[in-house]
Amino acid sequence: MAEVLIVRDEEEAGALAAEAIVNLIRSKPDAVLGLATGSTPLTTYGALARRIHDEGIDVRRVRGFALDEYVGLSAGHPESYRSVIAREVVGPLSLTPEHVRVPSGDPATIRTAGSDYEAAIDAAGGVDLQILGIGRTGHIGFNEPGSSLASLTRVKTLTESTRRDNARFFESACDVPMHCITQGIGTILRARHLMLLAFGHAKADAVAAAVEGAVSTSSPGSAIQLHPHATVIIDEAAASKLEFIAYYRHAWSNKPEWQGI
Protein backbone atom coordinates (compact mmCIF):
# COMPACT_ATOMS: atom_id res chain seq x y z
CA MET A 1 0.00 0.00 0.00
CA ALA A 2 0.99 3.60 -0.36
CA GLU A 3 2.42 5.33 2.69
CA VAL A 4 -0.05 8.05 3.63
CA LEU A 5 1.23 11.14 5.45
CA ILE A 6 -1.41 13.52 6.76
CA VAL A 7 0.02 16.98 7.29
CA ARG A 8 -1.21 20.29 8.72
CA ASP A 9 -1.05 22.29 5.53
CA GLU A 10 0.51 22.70 2.11
CA GLU A 11 3.66 24.22 3.58
CA GLU A 12 4.37 21.17 5.71
CA ALA A 13 3.70 18.93 2.70
CA GLY A 14 6.09 20.96 0.58
CA ALA A 15 8.81 20.76 3.24
CA LEU A 16 8.44 16.95 3.51
CA ALA A 17 8.46 16.45 -0.25
CA ALA A 18 11.45 18.79 -0.64
CA GLU A 19 13.33 16.84 2.04
CA ALA A 20 12.89 13.60 0.06
CA ILE A 21 14.04 15.31 -3.14
CA VAL A 22 17.07 16.90 -1.46
CA ASN A 23 18.09 13.49 -0.06
CA LEU A 24 17.76 11.99 -3.52
CA ILE A 25 19.87 14.72 -5.16
CA ARG A 26 22.55 14.44 -2.46
CA SER A 27 22.85 10.70 -3.10
CA LYS A 28 22.49 10.99 -6.87
CA PRO A 29 23.54 14.39 -8.27
CA ASP A 30 22.19 13.54 -11.74
CA ALA A 31 18.83 12.38 -10.37
CA VAL A 32 15.88 12.33 -12.76
CA LEU A 33 12.81 14.12 -11.40
CA GLY A 34 9.29 13.66 -12.74
CA LEU A 35 7.70 17.10 -12.68
CA ALA A 36 4.00 17.83 -12.21
CA THR A 37 2.31 21.13 -12.98
CA GLY A 38 -0.86 22.56 -11.41
CA SER A 39 -1.27 24.31 -8.07
CA THR A 40 -0.53 21.28 -5.91
CA PRO A 41 3.28 21.00 -6.20
CA LEU A 42 3.94 24.73 -5.79
CA THR A 43 4.88 24.55 -2.10
CA THR A 44 7.19 21.63 -2.91
CA TYR A 45 8.98 23.66 -5.59
CA GLY A 46 9.10 26.67 -3.25
CA ALA A 47 10.60 24.67 -0.36
CA LEU A 48 13.01 22.94 -2.71
CA ALA A 49 14.18 26.24 -4.22
CA ARG A 50 14.89 27.61 -0.74
CA ARG A 51 16.84 24.52 0.30
CA ILE A 52 18.86 24.47 -2.92
CA HIS A 53 19.86 28.10 -2.52
CA ASP A 54 20.31 28.21 1.26
CA GLU A 55 22.33 24.98 1.36
CA GLY A 56 24.18 25.51 -1.92
CA ILE A 57 23.03 22.18 -3.34
CA ASP A 58 24.52 21.54 -6.77
CA VAL A 59 21.63 20.78 -9.14
CA ARG A 60 23.43 21.40 -12.42
CA ARG A 61 23.26 17.71 -13.34
CA VAL A 62 19.70 17.10 -12.18
CA ARG A 63 17.39 16.12 -15.01
CA GLY A 64 13.62 16.46 -15.30
CA PHE A 65 10.68 15.21 -17.33
CA ALA A 66 7.31 16.93 -17.16
CA LEU A 67 4.23 14.76 -16.98
CA ASP A 68 2.15 16.36 -19.66
CA GLU A 69 1.44 19.19 -22.07
CA TYR A 70 -1.48 20.70 -23.95
CA VAL A 71 -1.65 20.05 -27.67
CA GLY A 72 -1.77 23.01 -30.01
CA LEU A 73 -0.89 25.99 -27.85
CA SER A 74 1.43 28.40 -29.62
CA ALA A 75 5.12 28.20 -28.76
CA GLY A 76 5.70 30.47 -25.78
CA HIS A 77 2.02 30.53 -24.70
CA PRO A 78 2.24 31.42 -21.00
CA GLU A 79 -0.02 28.52 -19.99
CA SER A 80 1.72 25.84 -22.03
CA TYR A 81 3.31 23.46 -19.56
CA ARG A 82 6.64 24.18 -21.26
CA SER A 83 6.28 27.81 -20.10
CA VAL A 84 4.90 26.82 -16.70
CA ILE A 85 7.77 24.39 -16.02
CA ALA A 86 10.31 27.03 -17.10
CA ARG A 87 8.70 29.69 -14.88
CA GLU A 88 7.79 27.65 -11.80
CA VAL A 89 10.46 24.96 -11.73
CA VAL A 90 13.55 25.44 -13.91
CA GLY A 91 14.03 29.11 -13.00
CA PRO A 92 13.37 29.01 -9.24
CA LEU A 93 15.34 25.76 -8.76
CA SER A 94 18.18 26.94 -11.04
CA LEU A 95 18.02 23.70 -13.02
CA THR A 96 19.92 23.44 -16.30
CA PRO A 97 17.24 24.26 -18.93
CA GLU A 98 18.58 21.72 -21.46
CA HIS A 99 18.22 18.96 -18.86
CA VAL A 100 14.48 19.43 -18.47
CA ARG A 101 12.06 18.12 -21.05
CA VAL A 102 8.35 18.60 -21.60
CA PRO A 103 6.39 16.45 -24.09
CA SER A 104 5.90 18.32 -27.32
CA GLY A 105 2.34 19.42 -28.03
CA ASP A 106 3.24 20.68 -31.51
CA PRO A 107 0.60 19.28 -33.92
CA ALA A 108 3.26 18.98 -36.65
CA THR A 109 5.15 16.25 -34.77
CA ILE A 110 2.43 14.94 -32.49
CA ARG A 111 2.26 11.46 -34.09
CA THR A 112 5.76 10.58 -32.89
CA ALA A 113 5.95 12.85 -29.83
CA GLY A 114 4.83 10.09 -27.45
CA SER A 115 7.36 7.48 -28.54
CA ASP A 116 10.11 10.14 -28.69
CA TYR A 117 9.36 11.09 -25.11
CA GLU A 118 9.38 7.50 -23.92
CA ALA A 119 12.75 7.00 -25.63
CA ALA A 120 14.16 10.11 -23.92
CA ILE A 121 13.01 8.89 -20.49
CA ASP A 122 14.58 5.48 -21.15
CA ALA A 123 17.82 7.08 -22.34
CA ALA A 124 17.99 9.06 -19.09
CA GLY A 125 17.76 5.80 -17.14
CA GLY A 126 14.15 6.31 -16.02
CA VAL A 127 12.59 8.68 -13.50
CA ASP A 128 13.88 8.42 -9.92
CA LEU A 129 11.14 10.38 -8.19
CA GLN A 130 7.83 11.33 -9.76
CA ILE A 131 5.86 14.19 -8.22
CA LEU A 132 2.12 13.81 -8.83
CA GLY A 133 -0.99 15.84 -8.22
CA ILE A 134 -4.45 14.38 -8.74
CA GLY A 135 -7.37 15.89 -10.57
CA ARG A 136 -10.94 15.83 -9.27
CA THR A 137 -11.74 13.21 -11.91
CA GLY A 138 -9.00 11.06 -10.36
CA HIS A 139 -6.56 11.75 -13.18
CA ILE A 140 -2.82 11.62 -12.71
CA GLY A 141 -0.86 13.46 -15.37
CA PHE A 142 -3.71 13.92 -17.81
CA ASN A 143 -4.75 10.25 -17.72
CA GLU A 144 -8.48 10.66 -17.50
CA PRO A 145 -10.76 7.85 -16.21
CA GLY A 146 -10.65 4.89 -18.59
CA SER A 147 -6.94 5.27 -19.33
CA SER A 148 -5.19 1.93 -19.60
CA LEU A 149 -3.05 1.07 -16.60
CA ALA A 150 -0.36 0.02 -19.10
CA SER A 151 -0.55 3.21 -21.21
CA LEU A 152 2.55 5.06 -22.35
CA THR A 153 2.97 8.69 -23.42
CA ARG A 154 0.27 9.55 -25.93
CA VAL A 155 -2.41 12.03 -26.93
CA LYS A 156 -5.59 12.12 -24.85
CA THR A 157 -8.84 14.05 -25.04
CA LEU A 158 -9.50 16.05 -21.88
CA THR A 159 -12.81 15.63 -20.07
CA GLU A 160 -15.00 18.71 -19.96
CA SER A 161 -14.67 18.65 -16.17
CA THR A 162 -10.87 18.93 -16.38
CA ARG A 163 -11.15 21.68 -18.99
CA ARG A 164 -13.46 23.61 -16.63
CA ASP A 165 -11.06 23.07 -13.70
CA ASN A 166 -8.16 24.40 -15.75
CA ALA A 167 -10.13 27.32 -17.21
CA ARG A 168 -8.84 29.44 -14.32
CA PHE A 169 -5.48 29.60 -16.07
CA PHE A 170 -6.97 30.83 -19.36
CA GLU A 171 -9.09 33.79 -20.43
CA SER A 172 -12.13 31.58 -20.89
CA ALA A 173 -13.08 27.89 -20.74
CA CYS A 174 -13.16 27.75 -24.57
CA ASP A 175 -9.45 28.60 -24.65
CA VAL A 176 -8.50 25.42 -22.77
CA PRO A 177 -7.22 22.97 -25.39
CA MET A 178 -9.30 19.88 -26.10
CA HIS A 179 -6.27 17.58 -26.35
CA CYS A 180 -3.14 16.93 -24.39
CA ILE A 181 -0.12 14.66 -24.51
CA THR A 182 0.58 12.88 -21.25
CA GLN A 183 2.89 10.27 -19.81
CA GLY A 184 0.81 7.12 -19.53
CA ILE A 185 -0.02 5.32 -16.32
CA GLY A 186 2.45 2.64 -17.38
CA THR A 187 5.10 5.35 -17.81
CA ILE A 188 4.37 6.78 -14.36
CA LEU A 189 4.51 3.35 -12.73
CA ARG A 190 8.06 2.85 -14.02
CA ALA A 191 9.34 5.73 -11.90
CA ARG A 192 11.24 4.41 -8.88
CA HIS A 193 9.37 6.49 -6.29
CA LEU A 194 5.93 8.09 -6.63
CA MET A 195 5.02 11.04 -4.47
CA LEU A 196 1.38 12.08 -4.79
CA LEU A 197 0.22 15.30 -3.13
CA ALA A 198 -3.33 16.58 -2.68
CA PHE A 199 -4.97 19.35 -0.69
CA GLY A 200 -8.51 20.44 0.08
CA HIS A 201 -11.99 18.90 0.25
CA ALA A 202 -12.39 18.95 -3.54
CA LYS A 203 -9.74 16.22 -3.75
CA ALA A 204 -11.08 14.00 -0.93
CA ASP A 205 -13.08 11.63 -3.19
CA ALA A 206 -10.22 11.27 -5.68
CA VAL A 207 -7.75 10.58 -2.85
CA ALA A 208 -10.01 7.96 -1.24
CA ALA A 209 -10.48 6.23 -4.59
CA ALA A 210 -6.75 6.34 -5.32
CA VAL A 211 -5.59 5.09 -1.92
CA GLU A 212 -8.35 2.75 -0.80
CA GLY A 213 -10.58 2.10 -3.81
CA ALA A 214 -10.37 -0.82 -6.20
CA VAL A 215 -7.48 -0.58 -8.65
CA SER A 216 -9.33 0.43 -11.75
CA THR A 217 -9.05 2.44 -14.94
CA SER A 218 -12.08 4.34 -13.63
CA SER A 219 -9.87 5.99 -11.02
CA PRO A 220 -6.45 6.37 -12.64
CA GLY A 221 -4.85 7.45 -9.34
CA SER A 222 -5.57 3.97 -7.94
CA ALA A 223 -2.67 2.74 -10.09
CA ILE A 224 -0.33 3.93 -7.31
CA GLN A 225 -1.45 0.84 -5.36
CA LEU A 226 0.47 -1.24 -7.90
CA HIS A 227 3.70 0.59 -7.11
CA PRO A 228 6.18 -0.73 -4.54
CA HIS A 229 7.18 2.75 -3.31
CA ALA A 230 4.39 5.28 -3.32
CA THR A 231 4.06 8.13 -0.83
CA VAL A 232 0.86 10.13 -0.49
CA ILE A 233 1.15 13.51 1.25
CA ILE A 234 -2.21 15.15 1.96
CA ASP A 235 -3.84 17.64 4.27
CA GLU A 236 -6.73 16.85 6.65
CA ALA A 237 -9.35 17.98 4.14
CA ALA A 238 -8.04 15.78 1.33
CA ALA A 239 -7.76 12.89 3.82
CA SER A 240 -11.29 13.33 5.14
CA LYS A 241 -12.83 10.42 3.20
CA LEU A 242 -10.17 7.82 4.00
CA GLU A 243 -11.30 4.86 6.07
CA PHE A 244 -7.99 3.77 7.61
CA ILE A 245 -6.82 7.21 8.66
CA ALA A 246 -6.01 6.11 12.25
CA TYR A 247 -3.72 3.42 10.90
CA TYR A 248 -1.85 5.84 8.60
CA ARG A 249 -1.21 8.18 11.54
CA HIS A 250 -0.14 5.25 13.74
CA ALA A 251 2.29 3.97 11.09
CA TRP A 252 3.76 7.46 10.54
CA SER A 253 4.26 8.20 14.23
CA ASN A 254 5.98 4.83 14.73
CA LYS A 255 8.04 4.92 11.59
CA PRO A 256 11.67 3.89 12.04
CA GLU A 257 13.78 7.02 11.53
CA TRP A 258 16.22 5.31 9.19
CA GLN A 259 13.50 4.60 6.66
CA GLY A 260 12.96 8.11 5.30
CA ILE A 261 10.02 8.52 2.94
Q: Which residues bind ligand GLP (CB under 6 A)?
A: 36-40, 67-68, 133-135, 141-142, 162, 166
Beta strands 154-157 and 179-182 are antiparallel
Compute the least distance from the CB of residue 88 to ligand GLP, in Å.
12
CB of 171 or CB of 243, closer to ligand GLP: 171
Are 189 and 223 within 8 A, CB to CB? yes
Between 32 and 67, CB nearer to ligand GLP: 67
Cβ nearer to ligand GLP, comparing 57 with 149: 149
For the sheet with 68-70, list strands across it.
Answer: 68-70, 179-182, 154-157
Roughly what angle, to the nearest 10 degrees, separates helices 42-54 and 10-27? Answer: 50
261, 184, 198, 204: which is closest to 230 by C-alpha? Answer: 261
SS3 42: helix
Could you tell me the smallest distance in angstroms from the CB atom of residue 38 to ligand GLP? Answer: 3
**Least CB distance to ligand GLP at residue 142 (A):** 5
- Which residue's beta carbon is nearest to the bound ligand GLP? 133
The distance of closest approach from Cβ of residue 133 to ligand GLP in the complex, given in angstroms and rounded to an integer, is 3
C-beta of residue 137 within 8 angstroms of C-beta of residue 145: yes
Taking the complex as a whole, how short is the minimal distance between the CB of residue 60 and ligand GLP, in angstroms?
Answer: 26
Q: Which is nearer to ligand GLP, 5 or 188 (CB)?
A: 188
